[in-house]
């Protein structure tokens, strides 16, 4: 079948099926991936087909990661989520055959390539790295959770707009910091992510398995879920002239409603199609409950609910201001349709899709609450953010060796670049690493 020119992907041999869905959700993305990935109904790693059915409940990282990826190609996810060589040895007995067809993904993970070389160096470096910053991350998250409840109660008790804003920002930061945890094996801290009406299980798909693996490509669910309100793909077939300029108007509305849209879409899809809700979707209700109990219920339930909704809207807006201007969107950053780097290494592709926030470095609090150290986080998502600063020496060494470059800017520069990217429709003809 001939692929239309505008649908050709820079990282795969086909256009993803899920993008043809009338309603794009994590479930439609997974369903499309199972159709596209040539995994033969099982699990694919490189050119091998594995049957992990008996391993699902034995997986050290939790059953979710195995159960939800059945029928898909998990090559890059497997490499990025396992630093040691033990898992590779462990899965050997589950291989059932070689794949009948080649992979659709064209990025590489070759021995001696950038990512495998960096991974080996990071593995050695971690043996001597101080692990105490992990404890600090835990304390920061705990402090923010306490703060959001205290400020939420105070905003009602004292009718304080300042307390309401602080409650919303605390909720936003709690959600961002909790993202530090859902990339890892199951843990209780990841549940705090759900306080913002979003769900860590859904984000393990849309963020960890989609965005982290295929950033700024057609396969990046975090791009497509914002369309048509916001569109960063520089393609006139996807982004009309009206959409380009109207997006500047719809942007603040999308920001304020993003959290509500996420839960609303999942409720609608569950009612019309397949249930994608979980019991822990109810955790966000603990906020209005705490406000009601903390104020003695004297002002009534509706005031508490209204305050919670206002808190969530502030958190949603703050989250998008931080998250959508954190790393990925600027005309100088690779997006689908732009010229590809000659070296197709998956790790270099990650570097090319990111400009880091240089203004965050040196503060673990700011890094945790503003998606800092983004390149290292994409390359090694299971590591606590507190450990990442110690890895910069080996990152710089390996980038120099493979002609990569870690780019940095501040938040204002990112916001300007992100808005320029919303307007851009012409692909960048200069490949990353090609020089000026």
Answer yes or no: do 181 and 299 share one domain. yes
Q: How far is CA 42 from CA 34, 92, 140, 251, 413, in A?
A: 9, 15, 40, 40, 44
Q: What is the CATH number of the domain that holds 99?
A: 3.10.120.10
- Residue at a domain's end among 107, 141, 157: 107
Tell me which residue of 188, 194, 206 sits closest to 259, measured CA to CA: 194
Answer yes or no: do 79 and 193 share one domain. no
Answer yes or no: do 35 and 142 share one domain. no
Radius of gyration of the chain, Cα coordinates, nearest whole angstrom: 22
- Strand duo 72-73 + 48-50: pairing: unpaired
- Residue at a domain's end among 75, 107, 139: 107
Answer yes or no: do 99 and 129 share one domain. no
* pTM for this predicted structure: 0.94
Answer yes or no: do 305 and 403 share one domain. yes
Answer yes or no: do 182 and 304 share one domain. yes
Answer yes or no: do 101 and 112 share one domain. no
What is the token pair recorded at 101? Answer: 């067809």
Answer yes or no: do 28 and 120 share one domain. no
Answer yes or no: do 116 and 9 share one domain. no
E strands, 64-189, are 72-73, 95-98
* pLDDT by 10s per residue, the chain, length 436: 556 777 889 999 999 999 998 888 899 999 999 999 999 999 999 999 999 999 999 999 999 999 999 999 999 999 999 999 899 999 999 999 999 999 999 999 999 999 999 999 999 999 999 999 999 999 999 999 999 999 999 999 999 999 999 999 999 999 999 999 999 999 999 999 999 999 999 999 999 999 999 999 999 999 998 888 889 999 888 887 777 778 888 889 889 999 999 999 889 988 988 888 999 999 999 999 999 999 998 788 999 999 999 999 999 999 999 999 999 999 999 999 999 999 999 999 999 999 999 999 999 999 999 999 999 999 999 999 999 999 999 999 999 999 999 999 999 999 999 999 999 999 999 888 665 5
- Residue at a domain's end among 107, 124, 154: 107
Answer yes or no: do 275 and 403 share one domain. yes
Answer yes or no: do 192 and 57 share one domain. no
Answer yes or no: do 176 and 272 share one domain. yes
Q: Are 153 and 291 in contact (CB under 8 A)?
A: yes
Quote the domain boundaries for residue 168: 108-435
Number of domains in the chain: 2
Torsion of CA 95, 98, 101, 105, to 10 degrees: 50
């Amino acid at each position: 079948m001939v692929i239309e020119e505008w649908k050709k992907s820079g990282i795969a041999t086909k256009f993803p099926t899920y993008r043809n869905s009338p309603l794009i959700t994590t479930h439609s993305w997974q369903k499309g991936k199972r159709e596209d990935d040539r995994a033969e109904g099982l699990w694919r790693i490189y050119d091998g087909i594995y049957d992990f059915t008996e391993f699902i409940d034995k997986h050290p990282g939790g059953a979710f990661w195995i159960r939800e990826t059945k029928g898909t190609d998990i090559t890059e996810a497997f490499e990025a989520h396992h630093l040691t060589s033990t898992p590779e040895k462990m899965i050997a007995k589950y291989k059932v055959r070689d794949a009948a067809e080649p992979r659709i993904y064209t990025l590489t993970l070759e021995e001696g390539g950038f990512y495998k070389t960096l991974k080996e160096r990071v593995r050695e470096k971690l043996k001597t790295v101080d692990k105490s910053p992990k404890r600090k991350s835990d304390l920061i998250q705990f402090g923010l959770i306490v703060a959001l409840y205290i400020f939420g109660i105070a905003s009602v008790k004292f009718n304080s707009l300042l307390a309401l804003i602080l409650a919303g920002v605390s909720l936003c930061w709690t959600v961002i910091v909790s993202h530090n945890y859902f990339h890892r094996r199951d843990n209780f801290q990841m549940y705090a992510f759900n306080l913002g009406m979003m769900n860590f299980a859904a984000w393990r798909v849309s963020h960890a398995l989609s965005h982290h693996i295929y950033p700024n490509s057609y396969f990046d669910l975090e791009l497509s879920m914002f369309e048509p309100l916001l569109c960063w793909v520089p393609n006139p077939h996807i982004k009309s002239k009206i959409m380009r300029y109207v997006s500047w108007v719809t942007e603040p509305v999308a920001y304020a409603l993003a959290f509500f849209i996420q839960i609303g879409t999942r409720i609608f899809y569950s009612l019309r199609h397949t249930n994608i809700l979980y019991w822990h979707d109810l955790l966000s209700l603990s906020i209005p409950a705490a406000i009601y109990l903390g104020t003695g219920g004297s002002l009534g339930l509706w005031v508490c609910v209204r305050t919670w909704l206002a808190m969530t809207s502030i958190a949603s807006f703050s989250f998008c201001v931080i998250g959508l201007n954190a790393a990925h969107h600027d005309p100088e950053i690779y997006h689908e349709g732009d010229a590809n780097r000659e070296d197709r290494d998956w790790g270099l592709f990650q570097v090319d899709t990111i400009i880091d926030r240089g203004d965050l470095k040196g503060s673990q609090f700011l890094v945790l609450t503003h998606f800092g150290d983004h390149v290292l986080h994409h390359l090694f998502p299971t590591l606590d953010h507190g450990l990442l600063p110690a890895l910069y020496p080996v990152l710089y060494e390996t980038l120099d060796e493979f002609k990569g470059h870690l780019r940095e800017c501040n938040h204002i520069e990112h916001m300007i670049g992100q808005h320029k990217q919303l307007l851009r429709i012409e692909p960048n003809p200069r490949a990353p690493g090609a020089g000026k």
